[in-house]
Amino acid sequence: MIRFTKDNSQFQLDTKTSTYNMQVRDGFLLHLYWGARLEGGDHSYFFREQGRAAFSPRMENCGGFILDDVPLEYPCWGRGDLRTPAIEIENPDGSNIVDLRYESHAVSAGKPRIPGLPAVYVENDSECETLVVTLRDKYSNVCVDLYYCVMEDYDILTRYACVRNEGSENVIIRRAMSASFDFDHIRFDVISNYGTHCRERQIERHALQHGRYTMSSRRGASSHVHNPFLILTSPTADETSGDAYATVLVYSGSFAAEAAAGQFDSARAMIGLNPEEFSWTLASGESFYTPEAIQTYSATGLTQMSQNFHRLFRTRLCRGKFRDARRPVLLNSWEACYFSFDEERLKKIGTCSAELGIELLVIDDGWFGKRDTDNCSLGDWVVDKRKLPNGIEGIYNHLKELGIGLGIWFEPEMISPDSDLYRAHPDWCLHIADRPRSEGRNQLILDLSRGEVCDYLYDSIAAVIGTGMIDYVKWDFNRNMTEVGSEPLGKEKQREVTHRYYLGLYSLLERLITDFPNVLFESCSGGGGRFDAGLLYYMPQVWTSDNSDAIERLRIQHGTSLVYPMSAMSAHVSASPNHQTGHVTPFDTRFTVAFTGSFGYELDPTQLCDEDKQRVIHTGNLFKEYGERIAKGNYYRLRDPHEETCGAWCTVSEDQSLCIAGYVLTHVRMYGNNERIALRGLKPDALYKEKFTGITYRGDQLMNFGLHAPTTLEYQSILWILEEQK
Ligand code: DGJ
């Protein structure tokens, strides 16, 4: 609900359990409150006017306040606030100043679309109310519309800004963040993800300290290194208690998220496009939209925060027919064969997969051009007849007879210097004239800010998937950006290239998913190098990591679950010893870890022993039986594999009648330690029967005492499936 009280110029934005307040004072849009839900009324006294000048200047005509000492909604650079700004504008005279004051506001039902950018959507206008507050700099006539979309039932507030140039000359946007958050204290911990390829989204937590703490990417991708979100919690907050304030950016390129503690012990946090990597020339009459930032508040710790994001992303960010459907049990050829396959080998794998109940075979890298290794052919999306003499049709017909689907791998955004495409269009990649072009994995990146490049990609992909033979596409992206230049844009706009690249990518994806609604798209960037809310808008699942080791995946999935739902995490059972780490793990452990995600296999089924083949049949059946309810359930982190010698979690169906819980022992300590796992989210007085043992427990027993867990064998695991007895 959105309320505006004229008498005291206050805005109150209520979600189910939270309230966000702002107030206009002397033309400035001040931030008053973000926290547990409040009744309406006058909250003016929340603003504490202390007039602490220190060395900060006092502005004309604004009561007693010192701008550097007040909580602001969208702080500007160039006047009295000397903290990090949300916006910086270079004016036609070269000065760097903008002074935005309240001009008007409007409230409407529903949620507008952000032109060209992914965003949370609603299915019905009654799901959201939108407030737009317009601010203006009366000298330059630069205006900013601040959008606040309140999804009350989801406990979500989304925000973005539209910068409009109503002046007569060009201005340059040097920085335009999506959202900024001021707090009047610094008693916070900051929680973030960090990592690298094959070790994405580890969790780091530390106290907020004076100075600026930034998590960011200048890599032209949201990246393996940090993830575009920011979580601030009260210092003692844990899974079940304490305040959590969180924001996630719906964007896949370079970003910055910052939390800073200032001189008067107040805090400011913000998230948006990375200003180090960006500027934008805005001609008279033009507008620029920032990506959307999604925020949620939980008064009961991290689980509720995560579940708020999970529910929203699952149901109002992901789209298409696969959003609510159980995903197919698939087998991916990458760790089964890498580049060495041909039609015969794929057919054998397909036949064996079908016998084991697998529903879809994905041909990963290596089916096109002359690609026997990773040094050529990206861009030449034409079947390699040496390997597949009967084209895709040959393998498709075979699988069709077996009754299973076909998926295929692309890395559309890349170009190999050794490719026909590069020989024809050497200028189509991101590059800077007369400078060397750095290769990553022997490849360059196509310039998706160019329409003709996106058109070429659309045509090449459509030629393959438009035959009706393809059910699934894995969309890979295997390097970060360097030499980010695009000649057609001219020298003034070179700092726009990365953002224009993403506008190009998003519009290409929009065309493809609109024209091919029956294809399930999975995004991938060397695993999780672009696991972000931006791409989830187009592709409902992501290959979580190139590290398919169950033990490492425990940590990766745990960290990913802070923000992203399990249904978005592709998780496969791979071979043992694991190809990345050499860990030898039992099949059941690999299954237990993969089961809660979008499930499949990453191995050669023809090489499995008979027992493991039976296990594939059995586990695939479990996923078919429970996959849909798990995907829609609420996820609880029960043990932290980063901190403890085990990992444990459970998913509880929306109606609380099914609970699937997993436990993996990651490090054995002699004679164990009486480990037991207390579950969460159940009905206390309901009876739950465990599927494999037949034992019945009451919900309160499971939640207060828990279940005994194995403690004696390293990498041992247990999966509990508990169904309510009615
Ligand atoms: C990186 C991906 O993450 C892998 O799963 C695989 O598709 C390779 N690329 C293929 O080159």
648 CB under 6 A from ligand 1? no
Mean pLDDT of 54-71: 82
Domains and CATH numbers, the chain: 78-316 (2.70.98.60), 330-630 (3.20.20.70), 639-724 (2.60.40.1180)
**Start-to-end C-alpha separation, the chain:** 38
Residues 193-203: tens digit of each pLDDT = 999 999 999 99
d(CA 573, CA 335) in angstroms, rounded, equals 10
User: What is the atom index within ligand 1 of the atom nearest the CA of 364?
Assistant: 7
540 CB under 6 A from ligand 1? no
Residue 670: predicted pLDDT:
84
Q: Does the CA dihedral 211-246-564-482 come out positive or negative?
A: negative
Quick check: 601 pLDDT over 70?
A: yes
Measured in Å, residue 382 CA sits from the centre of ligand 1 at 19
Residues forming beta bridges with residue 677, ordered by sequence position: 707
Residue 415 · residue 429 · CB < 8 Å: yes
365 CB under 6 A from ligand 1? yes
d(CA 177, CA 217) in angstroms, rounded, equals 14
Measured in Å, residue 476 CA sits from the centre of ligand 1 at 7
Per-residue DSSP letters for 82-144? -S--SEEEE-TTS-B----EEEEEEEEES-PPPTTS-----SSGGG-EEEEEEEE-TTT-EEE
d(CA 621, CA 617) in angstroms, rounded, equals 6
Residues forming beta bridges with residue 282, ordered by sequence position: 171
Residue nearest to atom 1 of ligand 1 (CA): 526
d(CA 219, CA 215) in angstroms, rounded, equals 12
Measured in Å, residue 400 CA sits from the centre of ligand 1 at 25
Residue 62: predicted pLDDT:
65
Q: Please tell me what DSSP assigns to residue 223.
A: T
Quick check: 63 pLDDT over 80?
A: no
Quick check: 47 pLDDT over 70?
A: yes
User: What is the atom index within ligand 1 of the atom nearest the CA of 524?
Assistant: 3
Residue 31 · residue 72 · CB < 8 Å: yes
Residue 543: predicted pLDDT:
98
Residues 321-368: tens digit of each pLDDT = 999 999 999 999 999 999 999 999 999 999 999 999 999 999 999 999
Residues 490-532: tens digit of each pLDDT = 999 999 999 999 999 999 999 999 999 999 999 999 999 999 9
Residue 597 · residue 725 · CB < 8 Å: no
d(CA 566, CA 630) in angstroms, rounded, equals 9
Nearest to 178 by CA among 258, 12, 289, 32: 289
Which region among 53-67, 346-360, 436-450, 609-623 has the lowest average model confidence (pLDDT)?
Answer: 53-67
- Alpha carbon 483 to chain centroid distance? 26
- Alpha carbon 475 to chain centroid distance? 15
Query: Which active-site residues does the annotation give?
Result: 476, 546
User: What is the atom index within ligand 1 of the atom nearest the CA of 474?
Assistant: 7
698: burial class by Cβ within 10 Å (0-12, 13-18, 19+)?
A: middle
Residues forming beta bridges with residue 707, ordered by sequence position: 677
570 CB under 6 A from ligand 1? no
Nearest to 289 by CA among 149, 171, 160: 160
Residues forming beta bridges with residue 289, ordered by sequence position: 162
Residue 173 · residue 183 · CB < 8 Å: no
Quick check: 595 pLDDT over 80?
A: yes
Tokens of 688: 């739950």
Q: Please tell me what DSSP assigns to residue 366.
A: -
Residue 500: predicted pLDDT:
98
Residue 711: predicted pLDDT:
84
443 CB under 6 A from ligand 1? no
Nearest to 128 by CA among 322, 321, 323, 312: 312
Residue nearest to atom 3 of ligand 1 (CA): 526
Position 54 confidence tier, pLDDT thresholds 50, 70, 90? confident
Per-residue DSSP letters for 380-443? --SB-TTT-TTHHHHHHHHHHHHT-EEEEEE-TTEE-SSSHHHHH-GGGBS--TTS----BTTB
Residue 320 identity: G
Residue 599: predicted pLDDT:
96
524 CB under 6 A from ligand 1? yes
Cβ atoms < 10 Å from Cβ of 197: 17
Tokens of 612: 């493991």
531 CB under 6 A from ligand 1? no
C-alpha angle 529/530/536, rounded to 5°?
A: 150
255: CB partners within 8 A, 6+ apart: 216, 217, 222, 228, 249, 271, 272, 273, 274
Residue nearest to atom 5 of ligand 1 (CA): 546
- Determine if the peptide bond prior to 228 is cis (ω within 30°): no
Question: What average pLDDT does the structure give for the chain?
Answer: 97
Nearest to 499 by CA among 669, 291, 339: 291
Q: Which residue has the tokens 């427990």?
A: 697
Residues 127-152: tens digit of each pLDDT = 999 999 999 999 999 999 999 999 99
The pair phi, psi for residue 571, each rounded to 5°, is -140, 125
Residues forming beta bridges with residue 272, ordered by sequence position: 177, 256
Residue nearest to atom 2 of ligand 1 (CA): 526
Quick check: 260 pLDDT over 70?
A: yes
d(CA 191, CA 189) in angstroms, rounded, equals 6
Tokens of 38: 């409040």
User: What is the atom index within ligand 1 of the atom nearest the CA of 526?
Assistant: 3
Position 58 confidence tier, pLDDT thresholds 50, 70, 90? confident
Cβ atoms < 10 Å from Cβ of 622: 18
Q: Which residue has the tokens 């438009």?
A: 466
Q: Which residue has the tokens 């849909």?
A: 628
Tokens of 417: 């210097």
527 CB under 6 A from ligand 1? yes
476 CB under 6 A from ligand 1? yes
Residue 316: predicted pLDDT:
98
Quick check: 673 pLDDT over 80?
A: no
Q: What distances in angstroms separate CA 421 from CA 1, 414, 425, 433, 699, one per listed residue?
A: 53, 10, 6, 19, 61
Tokens of 545: 């990591």
User: What is the atom index within ligand 1 of the atom nearest the CA of 409?
Assistant: 7
Residues forming beta bridges with residue 214, ordered by sequence position: 258
User: What is the atom index within ligand 1 of the atom nearest the CA of 525?
Assistant: 3
Residue nearest to atom 9 of ligand 1 (CA): 526
Nearest to 136 by CA among 93, 176, 165: 165
Quick check: 640 pLDDT over 70?
A: yes
477 CB under 6 A from ligand 1? no
81 CB under 6 A from ligand 1? no
Residue nearest to atom 10 of ligand 1 (CA): 365
C-alpha angle 298/299/301, rounded to 5°?
A: 70
Element (H, E) at 282: strand 280-282
Task: Report the percentage of the chain scoring pLDDT > 90.
Answer: 95
Residues 269-305: tens digit of each pLDDT = 999 999 998 999 999 999 999 999 999 999 999 999 9
Residue 61: predicted pLDDT:
66
Q: What contacts 24+ positions apart, CB below 8 Å, involve 618-621?
A: 619/573, 619/591, 619/595, 620/329, 620/356, 620/357, 620/358, 621/357
Mutation to probe ligand 1, out of 410, 443, 478 (largest number of atoms < 8 A from CB) = 478
Measured in Å, residue 360 CA sits from the centre of ligand 1 at 18
Position 553 confidence tier, pLDDT thresholds 50, 70, 90? very high
Residue 296 · residue 17 · CB < 8 Å: no
443 or 56, higher pLDDT: 443
Cβ atoms < 10 Å from Cβ of 376: 19
Residues 446-486: tens digit of each pLDDT = 999 999 999 999 999 999 999 999 999 999 999 999 999 99
